[in-house]
Structure 1
Amino acid sequence: MCFHWFAKARSQKIPISGPILKAKAMEIAGKLGVPNFKASDGWLDKWRLRNNVSFKCISGEAADVNQDDVEQFQTKLQTLLNGYKPEDIYNADESGLFFRALPDKTLAFKSEKCMGGKLSKERLTILFCANMARDKEPLLVIGKAARPRSFKHVPIAKLPVDWKSNKKAWMTREVMSEWLQQFNRRMKAQNRKIILFLNNAASHPNELDLTNIKICFLPPNTTSVSQPLDQGIIQNFKTLYRSLVLKHLITKIGDTSSASELSKSINVLEAVYFIKASWDKVEATTIRNCFRKAGFLETLEHPSDFDPEETHSTGSLC
């Protein structure tokens, strides 16, 4: 049954990754009443050999790192963190998500010329924010439509994320400024003084009058090693998101005629809930380890008292 399902999917050019096949095998085993079956990596390897199937490619972001700037930043970082408790040391960054994209690798017959359909480039932009104490801020998600069709029966205020929109679904200075001002008001209400590390993207403003947030811009071409979110937090989120999407698609593969049709079966509202669920699944240990990997170590000094006369109106290049 598993082979016939796989053969049908490949005849429609639908990419079938290892996790998809293993999940389908578990589903079939359940229907056949085989309680002790485990779709392990070993099972998958034997299945591939038995059926003459191999992995094939169907077709990140990393600028050249300036090592000198990284070392200078690491030297200065601990001084910047002095006076701040872990819960007041934040990192925020946005990342694009092709929320309908299918796997770019697939299991395929060895004799098969591996061709795929046009990959979905429909994207959402997500703003992530977390602190050294492993607290995660609610996500801001940017789409193209102010109110997508799938939101028809759901008030925007009831969504599990903060929804914004523009024609290209990109982060803009206006959207980022609004988010920063809201964040600042929340910190002010809690009488908290925090430091927020951002990369130097054009969409990140440095002229806002923020009384309770000190913005520290990371040196250019260093974020792939000096930004905590880039050390695995965002990647872990995307892995979790893909896992949820694949589980969702497994039930639909048999009822679709092409990869394009399959990818379009995911609507924006479903994606938003998958996004929220995936962010919730990112573990505290992952966040802690990524801050440490980026060189963010807890200081032993006690944080200074909040000085209402000391404003943090502009960002500085750290």
Structure 2
Amino acid sequence: MAPRRTAITTAQKAALRARRRQQPNASLKQLAEWFLGEYGHRLSSSSISEILSARYNHLDGELTEQQANAKRLRPKRWPELESALNQWIQAAEPQMVVTEDMIREKAQFYWNNIPAYRGKEMPVFSSNWISRLQQRKTVREQKQQKQQTEQQQGNEDENYAAQVLAVRETLSKFSPRDIFSCGEASLFWKQMPDRGLSTRSLPGVTGQRPRISALFCCNADGSQKLSPWFVGMAKQPRAFSAAGVRVENLGLCWRANGKGWVSPQIFEEWLRWFDASMHGRQVALLLDHYSVHQAAVHRVTSSNFPLQNTNIIWLPRSSAGRTQPLDQGIISTWKTTWKHKWIRYIVNEFDKGHDPVVTMNVLKAVRWAVGAWQRDITTDIIQFCFQKALSTERLHPSSDSQPVLAEISQALIGLQLPARIKDPMDVANFVNPADEIVQDNLEELDDLILSQFRPEEEHDDDQVVEELPHISHKEALDALEKLRLYEEQQADGDAQLILELYRLESVIKRRTFVGLEQTDIRNYFNIMA
């Protein structure tokens, strides 16, 4: 009687594939010997080849306990749909009871809106399929919670305090230099300080209101402010190309989608960029429980290439920004500085007889944004905000923005008097309007999820773009000479700045030499003069 064939589990198959990734040059015989020693089963070369084939690619992700023990695991039939549903469930579960009917209704909605399924007949989405989806995605059925009593609220407060203490305990293992926090900010960069124009399309702007989202990150002692990432609505804004500006020279990273939102893919890319920049270190990264953040972290941790240098630390869910250092004054200082430049620009453009909404462009917006981040977010502000976020004591700010806010307020009054704006916002609403606050909003969640599966569309918010001349090396050197002479003539001239201008002159001359393919001795001495 032939020996009975023994089936191997899904987890064992996944382990075999992982072994091959660790040792890509291992032969089938060597893999068979490893498997025999590990699990006591002898596999034929044909069985190993089949397990390593593309048919079992679905085993390379994260497996639930039930999946790992299964003898067979079907690959996902509709991976885009399941990914979208998983993201929606993760965001919706803390806010509502997610039922089978709701999952089915959302599956039908996503099927009709994901381009990969266009023209295909919609499946039934049976109870069995939803059950398997829940098993694959480890979705937990939640019981509807009753309205909280005062005692329950007190328990929640105690739980929040315990979570804060747990975060502080974890962070105690890291030095302030190695504790980072990442936060998001949103900016409608053409929004006028007029209530009547704040909720509708602006003159000269078609479609949606121009928007950028920002990703900021810094460490607790303020010694590192990473280059900010900005997400706009145009992949290649005309304002950049018209000015001949290279985005990488602005000290930022630029990404885009049709909404100007940080998508899970963009945040996953940011996470990997951050992790690579921490090479050789072990750092802590504080994150809010935004659905985008959770989806991106899940994609990274369940992939074959998890983060190597970064330890993700989730801030308490119920903190509402209280434990997010960037929400304790860093982002508000940045936004106040940016809005100060915007209000001054509005006043100056009106004085010239121009419409600031028409003349404003995204290049100016990101220049101001990078400048505010690099120059106005000081080490003192950063250190204070980190201390305030995770401290049990009441701390008083080391600096404030009252003078800037007072100037903005005066500018708003100045715009109202000649009727340039009819219904001015108060300072707080102008600096930080409600629709710029970043939060998990289920009303916008579907658009955010579906944006991952739609082809990229080119949007541009700049209706009128000023073509700027290309500055030659000689023009730059002439301007630099005048600027240096100006500084040398001042009673309070800055000697360090003059030395920096000499350094810049050397850089421009070196670029000139590199750009000269053929020259003679007279050209050489003309440049050196």
Same-fold status (TM-score > 0.5) = yes
Give the equivalent residue in structure 1 for 2:314.
Answer: 217
Residue 263 (str. 1) matches residue 352 (str. 2) = no
Code of the aligned partner of 2:348: T
Map 1:13-28 onto structure 2 (within 5 A): none
The answer on whether the counterparts of 2:167 and 2:315 sit within 8 Å (CA) in structure 1 is no
* Structure with the larger helix share: 2
CA shift, 1:89, in A, is 0.3
Q: Does 1:282 align with 2:377?
A: yes
Match of 1:123 among 208, 211, 222: 211
Higher RCO (C-alpha 8 Å, min separation 6): 1
Following superposition, the deviation at residue 233 of structure 1 comes to 0.8
Aligned partners of 1:233, 1:263: CA distance in 2, in Å? Answer: 27
Look up the SS of the partner of 2:213 in the other structure: strand
* Corresponding residue number in structure 2 for 1:42: none
Contact between 2:268 and 2:297, CA under 8 Å: does it hold in 1?
no
What do the CA deviations read for 1:110-136 (whole angstroms, capped 9, x no partner)? xxxxx5574653210000111101131
CA distance in 2, matches of 1:86, 1:104: 42
> 1:69 and 1:263, CA in 2 relative to 1: closer, same or farther beyond 3 A?
farther
Does the Cα contact within 8 Å between 2:288 and 2:315 map onto a contact in 1? yes
- Tell me what 1:166 maps to: 257
User: Residue 75 of structure 1 aligns with which residue?
Assistant: 165
Aligned pair in 2 of structure 1 residues 183, 296: CA closer, same or farther (>3 Å)?
farther
1:200 to 266, 285, 289: 289
State the Cα distance separating 1:185 from its structure 2 match.
Answer: 1.2
CA-CA distance at 1:75 after TM superposition: 1.6
* d(CA) in 2 for partners of 1:245, 1:215: 36
Aligned identity (percent) is: 28
Deviation at 1:90, TM superposition (A): 0.7
Q: Secondary structure at the match of 1:225?
A: coil
Residue in 2 aligned with 1:97?
187
Secondary structure (helix, strand or coil) at the match of 1:90 reads: strand
**1:206 CA drift (Å):** 2.2
Give the count of matched residue pairs: 220
Letter in 2 for 1:146: K
When you count strand as a share of all residues, which structure comes out higher? 1
Contact 2:164 2:316 (C-alpha < 8 Å) held by counterparts: no
Task: Tell me the C-alpha RMSD between the 2 structures.
Answer: 2.2
Deviation for aligned residue 1:220: 1.7
| Unmatched tracts of structure 1, length 5 or more | 1-62, 106-114, 298-318
Distance 2:166 2:335 in 1: 31
1:293 maps to which residue? Answer: 388
CA distance in 1 between partners of 2:352 and 2:159 (Å): 53
Q: What is the CA-CA distance between 1:221 and the residue it aligns to?
A: 2.8
Given residue 270 of structure 1, which amino acid in structure 2 is its aligned partner? K
Partners of 2:191 and 2:197 within 8 A in 1: no
State how far apart, in whole Å, the 2-side matches of 1:173 and 1:265 are: 33
Q: Determine whether 1:180 maps to 2:271.
A: yes
TM-score by length of 1: 0.64
The alignment partner of 1:183 has SS state of: helix
Give 1:102 deviation, angstroms: 2.4
Which ranges in structure 2 are unaligned for 5 or more consecutive residues?
A: 1-94, 96-152, 203-208, 301-305, 393-529
Given the superposition, is the C-alpha separation of residues 104 and 67 from structure 1 closer, same or farther in structure 2, using an over 3 Å criterion? farther
> Counterpart of 2:350?
253
Amino acid at match of 2:164: Q
Corresponding residue number in structure 1 for 2:118: none
Instruction: Say if 1:101 and 1:119, in contact at 8 Å, map to a contact too.
Output: no
Deviations 1:12-37 (A, max 9, x none): xxxxxxxxxxxxxxxxxxxxxxxxxx
Structure number with larger C-alpha Rg: 2
CA distance in structure 2 between the partners assigned to 1:223 and 1:128 by the alignment: 18
Q: Deviations over 1:57-98 (max 9, x none)?
A: xxxxxx9x9634431222212211122110100110111111
DSSP-derived class of the 2:269 partner: helix
Check the 8 A contact 2:345/2:356 in 1, yes or no: no
Deviating more after overlay: 279-288 vs 70-79: 70-79
For the pair 1:133 / 2:221, whether they are aligned, the reply is: yes
What is the deviation of 1:200?
A: 1.2
Instruction: Check 1:119–1:233 CA distance in 2 against 1; reply closer, same or farther (3 A cut).
Output: farther
Task: Indicate how the Cα distance of structure 1 residues 69 and 100 shifts in structure 2: closer, same or farther if over 3 A, else same.
Answer: farther
Q: Tell me, in whole angstroms, the C-alpha distance in 2 between the residues paired with 1:165 and 1:116.
A: 25
Contact 1:69 1:219 in 2 (8 A): no
Determine the C-alpha separation between the residues in 2 that align with 1:119 and 1:242: 19
